[in-house]
Chain A
Amino acid sequence: MTLNATQAAEAAARTSYGRLVAILAARNRDVAGAEDALPEALVAALRLWPAQGVPANPEGWLLTTARNRIRNAARHAQVADRALPDLLPLPPEGVDLPDQRLALLFVRAHPAIDPAARTPLMLQTVLGLDAARIAAAFLVPPATMSQRLVRAKTRIRDTGLRFALPDREDLPPRLSAVLDAIYAAYGRGWDDLTTEAIYLARLILVLMPAEPEAAGLPALMLYTQARRPARRDALGRFVPLSAQDSRLWSRDLIIEAEGLLTAAAVQARFGRYLCEAAIQSVHIQRPITGHTNHAALLTLYDLLVQHSPGIGARISRAVVLAGSGQPGKALAALDDMPAERVARYQPYWAARAKVLDLQGRPAAARAARKTAVELTDDPAVRAYLESL
């Protein structure tokens, strides 16, 4: 009985967190207030449900309890009642988005919100990621990220942003921030958010079939997902892409990804995700052709760096340069990157070690690899790096 009540509370929290926050925040546009109240309601549920039984509508119960908390908090703070209607009406011309979380993602890509806060805000308030993980994904200190999120939430409340579905013509300019959030939630493709991320990306493609990037992202994630069974060996050890047993790759997912990529590439409008999906496609060809097409990879990475001048793309490009017989150029490219951005960035040091190895400088490679190992939190990857 106790177990059922706990499970019901956890299930409601997991599946409805973003939606409940949105409904609560719609009343007074106070995302931060809603996020404070909802956990309190969950704690109350965990205390009361085992004794009183799980209510027929657990979400409704949580919503009512959280609303009461918000009302009490408002009374305590003597905050003026802004006399807003309970739920802001959705405009009839609003697009009918197939999943409410999708609408919430697009709302958080509002042009009046600081661009640097849009994607983190989506990750925290719709997809439920914690601030520390968001900060890590954006390579900024957790305190900076928390501050950025708090500022954005205050701004949403105080400027009175519309909490409703954007019109259809407002969707494309907001697309890239939404795709970035979904990809960040996908993360390294290991935990339970990966399935959610792929699901949301597929929904966006249904909504915006003419946007190449809306096809690029699910294609990229499907390629990664397809190789997932080959990323660890029978003993749980990390297997790098170049050594993976391609018989373990999922044929179905690869076929779906290739289909998306081919259809989108016809439009010849390349963005970041389509480029990355195309790069995955080149890697997937290796077992068929017997070698990695470094020239194609380099072309695609050049394109990617144009579209997404992020540090990650530049590091990968350097590794490809080294792999195609230009380790000197690769090292120069790595040396060019801003020291403060890469000092604590694991992929940089792993790449540097690899490039130095190819240049025939084992001592320097060992030192770089040592730094990479220190920055790796995945034990399997750490063990792999230590074995080199």
Chain B
Amino acid sequence: MQYMLILNETAEDFTKRLDPVQAGPYWGGWNAFIGAMAQAGIIVKGDGLQGPQLATTLRIRDGQRLVEDGPFADTKEQLGGYFVIDVPDLDTALDWAAKAPSALTASVEVRPVLVMPPLA
């Protein structure tokens, strides 16, 4: 089954990315995690994302395009990246989620990828 690991991070996590002292350990952790998944051959696709300060949110209301700077919701944790992995079951997906660095500071949401039934 395919699962998406939705990798949430805290504001501190995002600032570590560019911090001269903390960037090394920060990226080292992610590289080790992604490398292990790649070696296991389970990655279907995946990306890291720029921080929420670069997010732009759009809504259409009454035919009007409403564009705002900033993420969809102002919460303590923001989407920092995602991976779609192909593993036998939820338990295996959770074992991989537990290895993500952001599981220690924020959270990882694990969701099955929607498989549409074939049309009649």
Q: Which residues of chain A have a CB within 8 Å of any CB of chain B?
A: 78-80, 82, 88, 110, 112, 158-163
Contact = CB atoms under 8 A, between A and B. Distances in A.
A82 B112 CA distance: 13
Interface in B73-120: 88-94, 112, 115-118, 120
A161 B118 CA distance: 23
B90 A160 contact: yes
Contacts of A160: 1, 3, 89-90, 93, 112
A112 B90 contact: yes
Contact of B88 (A80, A88, A159): A88
B19 to A, nearest CB: 35
Contacts of B92: 162
A341 B85 CA distance: 45
B117 A161 contact: no
Contacts of B94: 112
Given A88-B88, A112-B94, A159 B117 contact: no
Contacts of B117: 78-80
Counting chain B CB atoms within 10 Å of each CB, the highest count among A80, A88, A158, A159 belongs to A159
Contact of A80 (B91, B93, B112, B115): B115
A161 B89 contact: yes
Q: B89, B115, B116 — which one has the most chain A CB atoms within 10 A of its CB?
A: B89
Contacts of A158: 112
Contact of A162 (B3, B90, B116, B120): B90
B118 A78 contact: yes
B88 A161 contact: no
A162 B89 contact: yes
B117 to A, nearest CB: 5
A163 to B, nearest CB: 8
A158 B93 CA distance: 14
Contacts of B3: 160
A78 B112 contact: no
Contacts of B115: 80, 82
23 contacts: A78-B120, A79-B117, A80-B116, A80-B117, A82-B1, A82-B115, A88-B88, A110-B91, A112-B90, A158-B112, A159-B90, A159-B112, A160-B3, A160-B90, A160-B93, A161-B89, A161-B90, A161-B91, A162-B88, A162-B90, A162-B91, A162-B92, A163-B89
A158 B115 CA distance: 10
A266 B112 CA distance: 46
A80 B1 CA distance: 13
Nearest to B116: A80
Given A160-B1, A160-B3, A162-B90, 15 more contacts: A78-B117, A78-B120, A79-B117, A80-B115, A82-B1, A82-B115, A88-B89, A158-B112, A160-B89, A160-B90, A160-B93, A161-B90, A162-B88, A162-B91, A162-B92
A111 B88 CA distance: 18
A80 B90 contact: no
A375 to B, nearest CB: 42
Closest 10 CB pairs of A and B: A162-B91, A162-B89, A160-B1, A80-B117, A160-B90, A160-B89, A159-B90, A161-B90, A78-B120, A159-B112
A82 B88 CA distance: 12
Nearest to A158: B112
A74 to B, nearest CB: 10
Contacts of A161: 89-91
A244 to B, nearest CB: 48
Nearest to B120: A78
A80 B89 contact: no
A157 to B, nearest CB: 10
A88 B1 CA distance: 13
A79 B94 CA distance: 26
A289 B3 CA distance: 63
A195 to B, nearest CB: 33
Contacts of B91: 110, 161-162
Contacts of A159: 90, 112
Contacts of A112: 90, 94
Nearest to A77: B117
Contacts of B88: 88, 162
A381 to B, nearest CB: 45
B103 to A, nearest CB: 15
A83 B1 CA distance: 10
A79 B112 CA distance: 17
Interface in B1-26: 1, 3
A372 B93 CA distance: 51
Nearest to B93: A160
B110 to A, nearest CB: 8
Contacts of B116: 80
